[in-house]
Amino acid sequence: MLRYLIILIVVGFGLELWGLITVGSLIGGWNTVLLVILTGLLGAWLAKQQGVQVLRTLQFQLSRGQMPTETIIDGVLILVGGMLLLLPGFVSDVIGLILLIPYTRMILRHLLKQWLWYLISSGRIRFFFRR
């Protein structure tokens, strides 16, 4: 598992560096730096807005005695999307924006729930409850 994580990090950084160099050669170095800073600020603002909305929904559902499973998944996706937008690079920015836009996040949440149910039903994930 650690081997796959290391490969993912190396390939991810390589893609980010390639993207920064390509965009820098097209629009210039200072414009690229400005664009990276702008996407970071936009990502922080969008993550805050979406995070507050999810927190309000979570509080509302808990006050009504409902189980907030989809809201918790939304919160995790928003957290990951916000962290990706704070990283310098354009590939992580695109993935982070996909995670922060409510419509695309809804599609990813549905796919993630299906995958988790598959793992649970196949026995790859087990829950142990102790009292």
Count of Cβ atoms closer than 10 Å to residue 20 Cβ: 19
pLDDT tier at 111 (50, 70, 90 boundaries)? very high
Q: What is the pLDDT of residues 51-98, one digit of tens each?
A: 899 999 999 999 998 888 889 999 999 999 988 888 888 888 889 989
Q: Say yes or no to pLDDT of 104 above 90.
A: yes
Three-state secondary structure call for residue 129? coil
Q: Which amino acid is at 43?
A: G
Q: Say yes or no to pLDDT of 117 above 80.
A: yes
pLDDT tier at 120 (50, 70, 90 boundaries)? confident
Three-state secondary structure call for residue 88? coil
Mean pLDDT of the chain: 89
Fill in the DSSP letter of residue 52: H
pTM, entire model: 0.81
Fill in the DSSP letter of residue 124: S
Fill in the DSSP letter of residue 64: T
| 78 vs 74: CA distance, rounded Å | 6
Q: Among residues 117, 45, 109, 107, which one has the least CA distance to residue 77?
A: 109
Q: Say yes or no to pLDDT of 130 above 80.
A: no
- For residue 68, the model assigns a pLDDT of 86
